Amino acid sequence: MDSTYKNNNPIVVAIDIGTTKICAVAGQRNFYGKLEILAVGKVESEGVLRGVVSNIEKTVRSISDAIRIVEQKLKKTVKVVHVGIAGQHIKSLQHKGSRLRDNGDVDISRRGLQLLIHDMYKLVLPPGDKILHVFPQEYTIDNEQGIIDPVGMSGVRLEANFHIITGQITASNNITRCIEKVGLKLSEMTLEPIASAASVLSDEEKEAGIALIDIGGGTTDITIYYEGIIRHTAVIPFGGNAITKDIKEGCNVMQNQAEKLKVKFGCALADEVFDDKIITIPGLKGRENKEISQKNLSLIIQARLEEIFDYVMWDIQRSGYERKLTGGLVLTGGGSLLAGIEKLASLHCGYETRIGLPIEHLAHGYHENVSSPIYATAIGLLYEASLHATESEVEDRLPDYRDTSNIPLELAPTHSTPHYARKETVVDAPKATAQQAEAKPQKEEEDVNKVSWGRGVMDKMKEMMSSNWEDSDLR
């Protein structure tokens, strides 16, 4: 490709509003259709509980901080964003729809299929629910079943089976309200398990049959694909925070100590802990330190993960695709970083299991941090946004009121050293203030004076002793 090639594809921005973190990602497609990550902003989430916004003010503050980091890196102003939605309120159902055509001799067009899909949005739901997504499963034309793509065929009666995903109107409105309070425009809202699958799964895996298990902080999301079509979605109200709470109560420690124990010493399979280390935890003020066995810690983690996998298997059996998952399971999300979780899932569920990294659509040269499973949803949302964006969603100016000098940056360069050759973490060094710049020469002068004074004392001592001692003898 020509070295003078300029990427004119639109820049899009996606936000993953999670229970433990809020992550904003900006990127664009390159010449080959791959995603180039231009900036990443990740901050702690304080107003979200189990994937649902529970405090609008705190959520708005976290979203604003994440967007500011992205804007500082881009040196542009973000105007439009794409977000994800998740939570225990998400439900799925199967429904069959049909449509009679006026002329059976005319070929079926894409518009005819869109009209049939649009009719599904008129389905009567329980009060307070709304339809988020409608996915056609297979079509039937005049009793001829099993048609995947009926465009170009002819017939009078067009029928289809649909997988419909619903959610609470309140949860959707709260996300919209948070985005608007930040001063942004919401372009699209996507179910987070679908976004995670887009960034992690390959087309071959979706065709063969596979289940994606996204273990987040507040929930565990399940997405099943078969023959390239999404077949089942579900949300389990347990995630990494449930494991942390179990450690807190089982080991009688503080919440932050329990999180550190899980991340640094946790293991999903207790039998894999061969050398049973003793972990010392600082006690509260005036109290003795606590000692915790790594084996016992792993037993607590394993018990909760086995419960989560029990729910996963129940949902897979309920979907009817238990014996059709040739690709097995793919684990992603922050919970998949636990040591030994891949082996535990394989033993407990009976499927081949791998850890899913969100690199399916990333361009070469991405930053190593971006390939972590914790960014699976954010990168998936960015990918879905890039498919539909027609114009750039940022402006070539940075507003003066966005001061991000005290917010740490997490950069993600795309045209530098490949991730497998990169060892250091890229962090912008803070600029010195005017007072610090003036104080630096003064400090260097003081250091020189101290050295000169020390040398004078040593010379004086040698004269007084009238000896030929070396400097090393006086040290």
CA separation for the pair 372, 377 (Å, rounded): 11
DSSP 465: H
Split at pLDDT 50, 70, 90, the class of 407 is very low
- Per-residue pLDDT reduced to its tens digit, 132-145: 999 999 999 998 88
Rg of the chain on CA atoms, in Å? 29
Beta pairing, strands 52-53 & 91-100: unpaired
Q: Residue 105 has which token pair?
A: 């001799």
Residues 151-186 as b/e (b if ≥16 CB within 10 A, e otherwise) read eeeebeebbbebbbbbbbeebbebbeebbeebebeb
First to last CA, the chain: 64
pLDDT at 384 over 50: yes
Percent of the chain with pLDDT over 90: 60
CA atoms of 175 and 17, how far apart (whole Å):
9
Query: Whose CA is closest to 376, among 12, 9, 14, 10?
Result: 14
Residue-level pLDDT at 131: 94
Q: How far apart are CA 114 and CA 55, in angstroms?
A: 37
pLDDT at 7 over 90: no
What's the rounded mean pLDDT across residues 15-32?
91
In sequence order, what are the residues at sequence separation of 6 or more whose Cβ sits closer than 8 angstroms to the Cβ of residue 3?
A: none
CA distances from 209 to 16, 227, 231, 322, 436 (A): 26, 6, 10, 10, 61
pLDDT reported for residue 463: 52
Tens of pLDDT, residues 149-197: 899 898 899 999 999 999 999 999 999 999 999 999 999 899 999 999 9
Is the torsion defined by CA of 54, 57, 62, 63 positive or negative? positive
* Pairing outcome for strands 48-49 and 129-141: unpaired
pLDDT digit string, tens, across residues 251-299? 989 999 999 999 999 999 998 888 878 998 888 887 888 899 999 999 9
For residue 342, give every residue at least 6 positions away whose Cβ sits within 8 Å of its Cβ, in sequence order, or none. 331, 336, 353, 354, 355
Six token digits for residue 28: 């664009």
Mean pLDDT of all residues in the chain?
83
Contacts of 376 (CB under 8 A, 6+ apart): 195, 196, 199, 200, 214, 332, 333, 356, 357, 358
Reply yes or no on whether the pLDDT at 26 is more than 50.
yes
Least confident of 22-36, 230-244, 318-332, 427-441: 427-441
Whole-angstrom distance, CA of residue 321 vs CA of residue 317: 7
Task: State the pLDDT at residue 287.
Answer: 82
Q: Which DSSP letter does residue 223 get? A: E
Compute the residue count for the chain.
475
pLDDT given at position 467: 40
| pLDDT over 50 at 101, yes or no | yes
The pLDDT of residue 399 is above 70: no
pLDDT of the residue at 3: 57
For the chain, the helix, strand and coil percentages under 3-state DSSP, each to the nearest 5? 40, 25, 35
**221 φ/ψ angles, rounded to the nearest 5 degrees:** -100, 140
pLDDT of 187-228, one tens digit each?
989 999 999 999 999 999 999 999 999 999 989 999 999 999
Alpha-carbon separation of residue 392 from 13, 334, 389 (angstroms): 9, 30, 7
pLDDT digits (tens, 9 = 90+) for 69-95: 999 998 889 999 999 999 889 999 999
Distance from C-alpha of 455 to C-alpha of 398, rounded to nearest angstrom: 54
Structure tokens of 54? Answer: 């529970």
pLDDT at 391 over 90: no
Strands 21-29 vs 278-281: parallel, antiparallel or unpaired: unpaired
| pLDDT of amino acid 33 | 85
pLDDT at 307: 95
pLDDT at position 231, please? 93
pLDDT at 135: 93
Grade residue 302 by pLDDT with cuts at 50, 70 and 90.
very high
The Cα–Cα gap between 145 and 266 comes to: 50
> Is residue 38 predicted with pLDDT exceeding 70?
yes
pLDDT at 4: 59
Residue spans of beta strands (DSSP E) within 63-156: 77-78, 80-85, 91-100, 129-141, 144-147
With CA atoms as reference, report the closest residue to 360 among 203, 471, 251, 221.
203
With bands split at pLDDT 50, 70 and 90, how would you rate the model's confidence at 430? very low
Token reading at 10: 């639109």
